Structures are given as structure tokens and as C-alpha cells.
Structure 1
Amino acid sequence: MNRDQRTARRVPVDCPARIRSADIGPAFYGTCKDLAVGGLTLHSNFVPRPDEELEVTLMPPGTGGRQPAPMKVHARVRRCHELEAEKCYEIGLEIIKVLS
């Protein structure tokens, strides 16, 4: 799916994310760059497999001295491309289920 096929409005964000394979492998870390009802975009040094299912935990920034609860989703990889040679990849994910 390319950017023009998206139907949901994407909200730019900049919050830390923890990425784990659905088979509960090691955790990787990145940054959530945008979020929508049906998906999100991450930047990370992690390179997922096509259609791989992941558990992603987003740590939203605190407001007014309060730290909101993390958001955890089960998501499927829809795209991944290199942004910086062997250092940073952009991962497009479809949200399958919101876990918390």
C-alpha cells in the first residue's frame, strides 16, 4: 500500500516504541513517527520480515507532569524501507488489535 491509498488521517507523533516479534523474540527499540486508527509508522534499526506480526508498545509523552499509560498493539508489517544505510528503516504497520 502506498501513501496515497491510506484512508485514515495520520497524526504526527514522536514517541519511543518497543518492538517485539509475535514469537516473543528479543526487544528492539525505535520511534513512532505517525499514528492513525488503523496503522502506524516506526523508525528503527530493526528489519522485520514482510507480513511479520509484531507487538509494539508506544510510550506517549507526559503532559502536565503526568505520564500516560503505554499503548500496546498487535500489528502486521505492511512495508519497510531503508532510510539510512544499515542504520535506520521506516516500518509501516497495520494495527490488528489494540492490546492496552
Structure 2
Amino acid sequence: MSWIVLIVSGLFEAVWAIALGASEGFTKLVPTVIFGAGLIISMAGLAWAMKEIPTGTAYAVWVGIGASLAVVYGMAFGGETISLIKVVLIIGLVGCIVGLKAVG
């Protein structure tokens, strides 16, 4: 169950990171509210998962999921450039996340 909570928390990490950018310095209400809710859910889930998953592993997985999704979102909707090397690096990051779960 801790791994499921951690994965969902990683998804919400991407939500708050994307919303933070969209809030334009907290000047837009809806993205700011989404940022706050996503941050609370994400941090609460991370804290809960860390009761059973070692801190280093939990944090690396949480950040990796959030970062990967934020970059993919940026490529799909935010005007971030897509390149073969970026795609390969994201795949490598996801592979490392899966590897942490596999050896954990």
C-alpha cells in the first residue's frame, strides 16, 4: 500500500509543480489553489509512505515521478522542446525509479 500511496504522491508532485508555473507568481487564483491542494496531498502521501519505505528511496521515487511527468507535460502542452536525448533521459529516469522498487 505504501508504494501505491508514494506513486500517487509523485503524481500530485507533478500537479503542484505544473500549477506553480501556471500561477504566474501566485497571481492567478485557480492555479494557486491547485498548487496548494496538490502540495498538501503530495507531501502528506510522501510522509505516510515514508513510514514503511526508506527515506532515500521514497524521496528519489517521489521526485523522479514528479519530475518525469512535469517534463513530459511541458513537452506536450508547455512549449518545451522535444529531443531524442530528453526522451532517452526520461526513460532512463523512469527505469531507475522502477529499479529502486525492484531492489527495495
TM-score range (shorter-chain normalised) is: under 0.3
* TM-score normalised by length of structure 1: 0.25
Larger radius of gyration: 2
Task: Name whichever structure is richer in strand by fraction.
Answer: 1
TM-score (norm 2): 0.24
Structure showing the higher helix proportion among its residues: 2
- The higher-RCO structure (CA 8 Å, 6+ apart) is 2
